[in-house]
Structure 1
Amino acid sequence: MFLTLLSHQWRSELRSSVFQKSLALNIILGLLILYFGSIFLFLGFNIHKILAELYPGQNAVAIFNGMLLAYFLIDLFFRFLMQELPVLAIQPYLHLPISKNKLVHYVLVKSVPSFFNLLPLLFIVPFMVTSVVPAYGLGIAIVWLLALMAVTLLNNFLLIYFKRQMSNKPLYTLAFGVTVTLLMLLDYLDVLQLQAISQAVFGAILVQQWLVIVPVILMAGAYLLNFYFLKAHTYPEEISVRKAKEATGGDIAFLNRFGELGKLIELELKLIWRHKRTKSIVTLSVIFLFYGLLFYGKDNFMDGFAMLIFVGIMLSGMPMFNYGQFLPGWQSGHFDGILTQRISPYQFLSAKYWMMVPVMVLAYILTLPYGLFGYKILLINTAALLYNVGVNVFIIFFFSVYNTQKLDLSKSASFNWQGVGASKFVMMLPLMVLPILIYLPFGLLDVPFAGVAAIGGLGLLGIIFQKQLLAFSAKRFTAHKYKLAAGFRQS
């Protein structure tokens, strides 16, 4: 049955838009995996030398063991940010004579060959060969490695469980997050010696090998926790679409004068105002207006241009980044209905464009007082606004056709990581890094203001040709709309 499900999943991936992502996105993901994999592999073969230099005269294995607990806590944090949940379009199998246990086991086992689970092997195995085996022997080293992999999988299954609980029981997830943060804070304040605890725990396995059963039992417990939770939520009535409550709200008279475009913008604004998750994005965007206070006014920061450009892009673009990274997932619940309406993709994207532009302009106006720190900030932030309006919006539209994860807007906004994954972070890279790369040659030639002008000029060109860029974006949307619809139905 596992092979059958794997075969179905593989065919589904081949036929889905996820497998047919753009070559550029796949190359970026591949390069990132290769980059971090190379770093960890290099670190694994050289960490015993690094530890010998940092801690002369001390046992490298003991020092390494002392760092493991902190590593696993950091690993949990990055898993929350980037690891996506394993999924299976389970509804087509529920009416078949297939054991529900097998379906759930498949979903959980599918998460094991994850990048986050394989990455530690790249530095743990080389360190084991260079340091642990010579000191303790091959048998004890293998038991030690099994213990570390059991803790890695414990993190994996804990992440899956709590990430699934974020929407249903956010307080449980909050308590879990507070516990992890508190442990790291107590270690920072020297109240709790995590390094000493970690050294004692993982060092004990090298002395008493039978203790490996402890992380194995914890891993099995986390696995069963996930198993029973998923099994309890695989009934058809749990998966079926619930009837939405009727929503009421007045018209926005000002938008009526813009015809069909105004109506679409009005619907978008109502969607934002009626759901907790979208309203939390508005709140976060408002809070982010104070981001500049962390940097402006500091002499070592004000002398450069690259970081000022980065901050300028973030100040006026954060509302667009927060909302745009999930497009068109906000309409995933009724996307099939949108496809049946007489709404062209050009109108659909135009409404989003003309909704985001005034918000970015408003953010720019509200951050004008930062100009008191220097005229350079005012020039850079103006260029950043033009770039966001003329270029970054269309970059978001370009990548939006790969957002096939359905968003349930009825779920709580607190700790809701639905739809968040590594692909979102990859999408954000060109938005923030590309303007700095445009500035870089001008900075190297010592003509920084020309670099700022180039960023603003490129944004101005985008604004001038926004109709053509919208038409190009609409053409891409048309080519991918059925793949988007299929992805929203399956997720």
Structure 2
Amino acid sequence: MLLLELRKHARLAAKRHPMFEKNKFGKFFMYFMKLFWAGYFIFFGILFGMGLSEDNIVMEPYHIFNKGILIILIIDFLLRFIFQKPPTQEIKQYLLLPIKRNKLLNILLLKSGADGYNAFWLFMVVPFAFITILKYYGITGVITYCFGIYLLMILNNYWYLLCRTLINEKTIFVLIPIIFYSLLGVAEFVLEHRISTFTMNLGEMFIMSKPLAFLGVLVAIALMAWINRVIMVRNLYAELSKLEDTKVKRVSEYKFLERYGEVGEYFRLELKLLFRNKRTKSMFRMGCFLIIMLTAMLFTPSYEGAFGKSFVGIYNFAILGILMLTQIMSFEGNYLDGLMSRKESIYNLLRAKYYFYSFAVIVPFILMIPVIVMGKISLLTAFSYALFTTGFIYFIILQLAVYNNKTTPLNESLIGRQSTGTGFQSIISLLSFGIPMLVINLLRITLGEPASLWVLLIIGIAFTCTSNIWIKNIYVRFMKRRYKNMEGFRDTK
């Protein structure tokens, strides 16, 4: 009953939000994209089912699929950092009511486990199961197999929630998933594919409705949920008591930036925004973690193909900008009135942000040096992807500076309110995530690998060298909408 009541309150809060009427297009577009990706997953499920059935005679198609289920779980884990927000809700006001905090957190975890995102992979698994399993085990085998995969996704959800909570608390905890997946990789190749054999047998036990398989996954889910609950209770008390604000270890003034004038001042403001506020610091840590994970994926045999290399390579450079710059001006909405009091301050702010995230691509480039030395990707590929990111991809994302008009809290996380993006934010975020791979693959198909890399390099250099021109254009368009945007920022503080 409490879960239903909280869900009802959340719907009412969304309808009563000042931005509800202005955000209807964004919601429609998000529903459209969900239907699009559902159809995309169904297509891949059919493709895998028919392709594996025709091309393989040594093993059953579902055995091959189950041997690679760990790869799907890793991809799902990484995608959750991009698409799935932490399962927070506005529980702060409920803490004043005679409701136990532990009960509220239990509902929070239950809500996370019942999230529809956990079932999204079934759009691919269900058609695959009907093609490959139905003829051997009937509809019962299909249902039990899909239910078993769904339980694995719920387990992956709690594993993601645990990692994200710890990473938000301290950056050092990024080593937990890195070490965990590294050990799985070592176990897979050193112990003669024991991990893939285990997942293959587990999938077959799902198909054959073995109670032990379901019981084992359910116990793992319960254990992971309990660990999450313990950590969330500790973090909740810490945030309520504002323990983080009682100590200041050191204050960095970044005085070396003074020589660069007003742009240097806004560069310094960006650094302080990232490293002195809880939410921005958490997002920045998450971006760094994803860069490390994507770089590590290039060392695995699973990404030897052209598609895998291009996917990991381009998002290795772009992921930090996609995470942070899609919120451009939303964090500044907390103090936009002060920024607007100075002439052309927004223009210099946009330039400083662009310079900061352009310099940030040096980090993934350095991390990829061992991959380049090993010959897995070429130096031209790395330069092309880096400049394509600083040029074309950032050109797309920075357009959000004109349309973002919702304030994002700087220091609320666990008990803070969630904010949904505007329609343009949803569109441009999806475009910035989908267009790079579309452009890269179209160029590769039409021009071939070497020529496509040179074209990407030229496009990136062109947009990078003309950045002052299109940033000026963004600034002019922002100033035309400034009163509308400022009204939105004030309404959503």
TM-score by length of 1: 0.66
Report what 1:148 is aligned to: 149
Report what 2:168 is aligned to: 167
Report what 2:56 is aligned to: 55
**Is residue 395–residue 431 contact of structure 1 (8 Å, CA) maintained in 2?**
no
After TM superposition, list the pairs within 5 Å mapping 1:333-412 onto structure 2.
336=334, 338=335, 341=338, 343-344=340-341, 347-356=344-353, 391-392=395-396, 394-398=398-402, 400-401=404-405, 404=408, 406=410
2: CA distance between counterparts of 1:170 and 1:378? 28
Report what 2:484 is aligned to: 479
After TM superposition, list the pairs within 5 Å mapping 1:70-469 onto structure 2.
70-188=71-189, 191-207=192-208, 209-211=210-212, 212-235=214-237, 238=240, 240=242, 242-243=244-245, 248=251, 267-268=269-270, 277=281, 324-328=325-329, 336=334, 338=335, 341=338, 343-344=340-341, 347-356=344-353, 391-392=395-396, 394-398=398-402, 400-401=404-405, 404=408, 406=410, 425-426=429-430, 428-429=432-433, 463=468, 469=474
Deviation at residue 378 of structure 1 after TM alignment: 11
| Structure 2 residue matching 1:98: 3-state secondary structure | coil
Structure 1 residues 383, 153: CA separation in 2 closer, same or farther (over 3 Å shift)?
closer
Deviation at residue 53 of structure 1 after TM alignment: 1.3
Deviation at residue 203 of structure 1 after TM alignment: 1.8
2: CA distance between counterparts of 1:399 and 1:80? 24
Q: Give deviations 1:106-142, integer Å, cap 9, x for gaps.
A: 3223334545312222133334444434423444543
Letter aligned with residue 196 of structure 1: T
| Structure 1 residue matching 2:112: 3-state secondary structure | coil
| Structure 2 residue matching 1:111: 3-state secondary structure | helix
**Is residue 399–residue 474 contact of structure 2 (8 Å, CA) maintained in 1?**
no
Structure 1 residues 345, 59: CA separation in 2 closer, same or farther (over 3 Å shift)?
farther
Structure 1 residues 475, 202: CA separation in 2 closer, same or farther (over 3 Å shift)?
same
Q: Give deviations 1:30-54, integer Å, cap 9, x for gaps.
A: 4543333113223434544322212
**What 5-or-longer segments of structure 1 have no aligned partner?**
295-306, 368-372, 410-417
Q: Give deviations 1:210-243, integer Å, cap 9, x for gaps.
A: 2121112212222232233334444486364853
Report what 1:470 is aligned to: 475
1: CA distance between counterparts of 2:128 and 2:393? 46
Deviation at residue 69 of structure 1 after TM alignment: 3.6
**Is residue 406–residue 419 contact of structure 1 (8 Å, CA) maintained in 2?**
no
Deviation at residue 95 of structure 1 after TM alignment: 0.7
| Structure 2 residue matching 1:110: 3-state secondary structure | helix
Structure 1 residues 76, 436: CA separation in 2 closer, same or farther (over 3 Å shift)?
closer
**Is residue 62–residue 203 contact of structure 1 (8 Å, CA) maintained in 2?**
yes
Percent identity of the aligned residues?
18
1: CA distance between counterparts of 2:125 and 2:338? 55
**Is residue 322–residue 429 contact of structure 2 (8 Å, CA) maintained in 1?**
no
| 244-253 or 38-47, which deviates more | 244-253
Deviation at residue 172 of structure 1 after TM alignment: 4.6
**Is residue 41–residue 123 contact of structure 2 (8 Å, CA) maintained in 1?**
yes
| Structure 1 residue matching 2:87: 3-state secondary structure | coil
2: CA distance between counterparts of 1:378 and 1:195? 35
Letter aligned with residue 408 of structure 2: T
Structure 1 residues 41, 155: CA separation in 2 closer, same or farther (over 3 Å shift)?
same
2: CA distance between counterparts of 1:461 and 1:81? 29
Structure 1 residues 255, 115: CA separation in 2 closer, same or farther (over 3 Å shift)?
same
C-alpha RMSD of the superposition: 5.5
Structure 1 residues 328, 357: CA separation in 2 closer, same or farther (over 3 Å shift)?
closer
**Is residue 141–residue 207 contact of structure 2 (8 Å, CA) maintained in 1?**
yes
Determine whether 1:44 maps to 2:48: no
**Is residue 387–residue 458 contact of structure 1 (8 Å, CA) maintained in 2?**
yes
Q: Give deviations 1:227-260, integer Å, cap 9, x for gaps.
A: 333344444863648536566566859859968x
Structure 1 residues 436, 23: CA separation in 2 closer, same or farther (over 3 Å shift)?
farther
| Structure 1 residue matching 2:96: 3-state secondary structure | coil
| Structure 1 residue matching 2:226: 3-state secondary structure | helix
| 347-356 or 462-471, which deviates more | 462-471
Structure 1 residues 81, 450: CA separation in 2 closer, same or farther (over 3 Å shift)?
closer
**What 5-or-longer segments of structure 2 have no aligned partner?**
299-309, 366-377
Structure 1 residues 328, 132: CA separation in 2 closer, same or farther (over 3 Å shift)?
same
| 354-363 or 68-77, which deviates more | 354-363
How many residues matched?
Answer: 441
* Larger CA Rg, structure 1 vs 2: 1
Deviation at residue 81 of structure 1 after TM alignment: 3.9
Letter aligned with residue 346 of structure 2: L
Letter aligned with residue 161 of structure 1: L
2: CA distance between counterparts of 1:57 and 1:450? 42
2: CA distance between counterparts of 1:220 and 1:383? 44
1: CA distance between counterparts of 2:71 and 2:316? 31
